[in-house]
């Protein structure tokens, strides 16, 4: 009898969770959305991001100071292009934890797509200064480069893009952007090198091929 009870308990403890018992995981939903987006399945990705948003809001209703929920919510809102909403929420989160650098970097990206380059630059520089070894450091440098390029500070853009490709050298777009600012300031040798690297990474990159042709003539 005792042995029978022990077996039953063991089966209960090791049985898989039913769909109703599985706890919703916002981060898993967000990552699923990101993977779907990378495969071009945009509508499915959007549904996954919306699911992540819903889960985070439910978690925050239960615990308004749950930083992890705020972080994933900010990421989901960014992917859903709800930039202003993400900004509003992120600024509130930074009142709770001013050094939550995941929020700071995401906030910088949101400001960028809202065309608020001044605040975007502040956030990106804050992230770079505060977390120089951060997971998003190369992306932060890239956005700094974008801001300087769009505001015609080309030498500063060169430095930022150079830092981005140094940190993460396998992104063809970043080498292309670096090449364009070098071409703008008539650094043909530097531009040629950067265009060539963009083409090594993406041989079908027409804009890079056109740029290389211009600076090689």
pLDDT for res 78: 97
pLDDT for res 140: 98
Asked if residue 7 is part of any domain, the answer here is no
Question: In the chain, which residue ranges form alpha helices assigned H by DSSP?
Answer: 2-14, 26-38, 42-62, 67-79, 83-96, 101-113, 117-130, 137-150, 154-167, 172-184, 188-201, 206-216
pLDDT for res 217: 81
Quick check: 187 pLDDT over 80? yes
Answer whether 147's CB lies under 8 Å from 117's CB.
yes
CATH of the domain at 69: 1.25.40.10
Asked if residue 130 is part of any domain, the answer here is no
144 and 207 in a common domain: yes
pLDDT for res 47: 97
Q: How many CA atoms lie within 13 A of 29 on its CB side?
A: 22
Per-residue pLDDT tens for 81-104? 999 999 999 999 999 999 999 999
Which residue segment(s) compose the domain that 46 sits in?
Answer: 17-114
Asked if residue 141 is part of any domain, the answer here is yes
Where does the pLDDT of residue 3 fall: very low under 50, low under 70, confident under 90, or very high at 90 and above?
low
Quick check: 4 pLDDT over 90? no
Distance CA 141, CA 164 (A): 5
Q: How many domains does the chain have?
A: 2
Task: Tell me the average pLDDT across 15-43.
Answer: 80
pLDDT for res 13: 45
């Amino acid at each position: 009898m005792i042995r029978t009870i022990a077996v039953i308990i063991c089966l209960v403890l090791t049985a898989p969770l039913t769909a109703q018992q599985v706890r919703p995981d916002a981060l898993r939903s967000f990552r699923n959305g990101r993977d779907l987006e990378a495969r071009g399945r945009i509508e499915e990705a959007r549904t996954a991001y919306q699911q992540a948003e819903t889960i985070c809001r439910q978690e925050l209703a239960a615990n308004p100071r749950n930083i992890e929920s705020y972080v994933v919510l900010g990421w989901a809102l960014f992917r859903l292009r709800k930039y202003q909403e993400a900004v509003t929420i992120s600024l509130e989160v930074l009142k709770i934890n001013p050094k939550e650098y995941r929020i700071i970097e995401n906030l910088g990206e949101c400001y960028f797509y809202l065309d608020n380059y001044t605040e975007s630059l502040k956030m990106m520089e804050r992230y770079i200064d505060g977390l120089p070894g951060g997971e998003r450091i190369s992306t932060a440098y890239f956005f700094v480069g974008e801001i300087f390029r769009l505001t015609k500070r080309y030498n500063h853009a060169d430095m930022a893009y150079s830092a981005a490709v140094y940190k993460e050298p396998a992104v063809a777009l970043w080498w292309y952007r670096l090449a364009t600012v070098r071409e703008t300031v008539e650094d043909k040798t530097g531009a040629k090198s950067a265009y060539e690297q963009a083409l090594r990474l993406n041989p079908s990159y027409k804009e890079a091929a056109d740029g290389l042709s211009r600076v090689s003539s």
